[in-house]
A and B are shown apart, each in its own frame.
Chain A
Amino acid sequence: MAVNGLFRVVAVALAALTLALPVLGGPFASTGFGISPYLANIIGQIATFALLAMALDLIWGFAGVLSLGHGLFFAMGGYLIAMHMLKAGYVQQGIVPDLMTFMGWTDLPSFWAFFESFPYALALILLLPGLVAFAYGWMSFRSRVSGVYFAIITQALTYVAMLLMFRNDTGFGGNNGMTGFSRLLGMPIGETSTAVWLATASTAATLAAFLLCGRLVASPFGRMLVAVRDDEARLRFLGYDPVWPKLAVWTLSGVLAAVAGALYVPQVGIINPRLLSPEVSIEIAVWVALGGRGTLSGAVIGAVVISALKFWLTGFAPDLWPFILSILVLVVVVGLPNGLTDLRLPCLTAMRRLRREP
């Protein structure tokens, strides 16, 4: 099947990147076919976006539940890792975080306790977004809030989180967010080798998630998700309570998004509440819609294509990007209901025709 073929192509590409990055970005960085630290950094960022898109595709493409608030989980992961890096720098190297100076604090608020420990931060990155996703999902799915209602409320939730984070007194750096990270796991942030390792970790995590989710959606559980998407009432009358599969995949999706955020923030070196703005969350949905819902490779491709385009364009025409993005969305939504996968068939036929008439 062509879809399986595409899945293999994406998996191999991710694996190749994961293997090539430490080599081409390390000893061979300055050779002709090497990967510059700048490029490695961009590859790493895009990989986290691909992971994020996959997280959303899992819940939207497969279970049919659209979230316009995945920026919330992404930002949670980002804030948690940022707290770890700032606290570790403060405790181990005595670097006073900017937000302490700005707020005139002599010490960090109590909820920053233990954040200097990486295992603690990692546990929270996995648990806290999962818990939030579970709580919200449980309330919504149990009372059968779905479709547009669910999407709008996830967006409102993210919007409120943004407003909260914009405040200085919540203890997360307010408007300025958090920046000035020094080290992560002993590696100095901002150095070439760290950039390459972070990028490698991102592609590796994305590959792992890709394979894991691939197995998941191919399993009976995946079929149950599709059944939830197609006809929830029918499933209920067959004796399954759809709340549980939905809740499971929704929580998993939230955790994956948080992991993506935790990988993203050390690479860009800053986090602020703008990551929680509705635009960011909707852009994630745009990646998935463009790449094609319901196929993991589509989500990855969509995220890679759009964010690469964005990196390239914002370099020389930042004002142009919103126009391109909005028109792209309209074209995809109106013309290509299944995203770029709709183009696959015409492309294949065109290629076949070309081969036939050399």
Chain B
Amino acid sequence: MNLESHGWQAIQVNGLRVTFGDFVAIPNLSFVASYGEIHAVIGPNGAGKTTLLDVVTGKTRPRAGTVLLDGRIDLCRLTEPQIALAGVGRKFQKPSVFEALSVHENLELALRLRPRSILSELRGWADPRRAARVAEVLAEIGLADRADDPAGVLAHGQKQWLEIGMLLMQRPKLLMLDEPVAGMTDAETAHTADLVRRLRAPDRAILAIEHDMAFVEEIADRVTVLHEGAPIFEGQMTDARADARVRDVYLGRH
């Protein structure tokens, strides 16, 4: 039986509750993202979108609830590196790459062929598969001619692509994008939408948080609208636009 294929639930969030002191960021959230789909989460500021990503990647611990990967791995019990090794990749809101390392070193580092220990990974660094995969991804993100430049000198959009490239190296089952086109030009946004669509795979679920409605409409198969930590709509983007409550809390203001 192949669990990780189109239509199967990649991630199940059940009864999630997250608090910061007295502030309740997410009161009670349940939702599901499936393999082969691009699932967008939208909502106004403070709706708990980034908090949701923080919980799934292990950065924040929930008060209650479970986050199951493939219906069996409870991510809330794992550390951040363990979650990453289990197949969850994350793109940060601010481009986060290793600025002092060259573009190809960034990509090399993102590939974990031997996830057991860092030492064995470093010992097998010269594995030819690594170089081959790096070349492949370099071509895919369009940075092949910048391979030896330090990542720090790249333009903002190029850094975002490099970060997506690193996620490609990782081959995650669940890929989470935190506002991937924030601060991008229209041309860069188009390229990014192209990249994200190419990231779609039958054995991969993509969860995107975004403010840019046009971008969401272009990439997303399903949309969840969050408001004050609770989902108020789930379905197609076109239906979301028509939903009265969604318009009321979010879209109406745009």
Contact = CB atoms under 8 A, between A and B. Distances in A.
Interface of A: 219-221, 223-224, 226-227, 229-231, 233-241, 244-245, 294
A234 B97 contact: yes
B51 to A, nearest CB: 16
B100 A226 contact: yes
A220 B105 CA distance: 9
Contacts of A236: 80-81, 84
Given A230-B98, A231-B97, A239 B122 contact: no
A223 B80 contact: no
Contacts of A235: 98, 109
Interface string B89-116: 1101000111111000100111010010
Interface of B: 57, 59, 79-81, 84-85, 89-90, 92, 96-101, 105, 108-110, 112, 115, 118, 121-122, 125, 166, 170
A226 B102 CA distance: 11
B99 A234 contact: no
Contact of B84 (A219, A220, A229, A239): A239
Contacts of B118: 224, 240-241, 244-245
A226 B98 contact: yes
A226 B101 CA distance: 7
A191 B145 CA distance: 62
Contacts of B170: 238-239
A233 B65 CA distance: 24
B105 A237 contact: no
A223 B170 CA distance: 18
Contacts of B122: 219-221, 224
Contacts of A231: 96-99
A-B pairs, 6 with minimum CB distance: A239-B84, A220-B125, A230-B98, A239-B85, A236-B80, A241-B81
Contacts of A239: 81, 84-85, 112, 115, 170
A270 to B, nearest CB: 41
A229 B100 contact: yes
Contact of A238 (B59, B79, B84, B101): B84
A221 B59 CA distance: 25
Contact of A230 (B81, B100, B115, B121): B100
A210 B109 CA distance: 25
B108 to A, nearest CB: 8
B132 to A, nearest CB: 17
Question: Considering residues A224, A230, A235, A240, which has the most beta carbons from chain B within 10 angstroms of its beta carbon?
Answer: A240
Contacts of A229: 100
Given A227-B109, A234-B92, A241 B98 contact: no
A241 B117 CA distance: 9
A227 B125 CA distance: 15
Nearest to B79: A241
A241 B84 CA distance: 10
A235 B118 CA distance: 12
Contact of B101 (A219, A223, A294): A223
A238 B96 contact: no
B57 A237 contact: yes
Contact of A233 (B85, B96, B101, B108): B96
Given A223-B105, A223-B109, A237 B97 contact: no
A249 to B, nearest CB: 12
A226 B108 CA distance: 13
Contacts of B101: 223, 226-227, 230
21 contacts: A223-B109, A224-B109, A226-B98, A230-B98, A230-B99, A231-B96, A231-B99, A234-B92, A234-B98, A236-B80, A236-B81, A236-B84, A237-B80, A238-B109, A238-B110, A238-B166, A239-B84, A239-B85, A240-B81, A245-B118, A294-B100
B148 to A, nearest CB: 11
Contacts of B81: 236, 239-241
B75 to A, nearest CB: 13
Nearest to B106: A227
Given A227-B98, A236-B84, 17 more contacts: A223-B108, A223-B109, A226-B101, A230-B97, A230-B98, A230-B100, A231-B97, A233-B96, A237-B89, A238-B109, A238-B110, A238-B166, A240-B109, A240-B112, A240-B118, A241-B79, A294-B100
Contacts of B92: 233-234
B96 A234 contact: yes
A26 B34 CA distance: 78
Contacts of B98: 226-227, 230-231, 234-235
A294 B125 CA distance: 22
A223 B110 CA distance: 12
A229 B100 CA distance: 9
Contacts of A294: 100
Contacts of B109: 223-224, 227, 235, 238, 240
Nearest to A245: B118
Nearest to B81: A241
A223 B121 CA distance: 13
Nearest to A243: B81
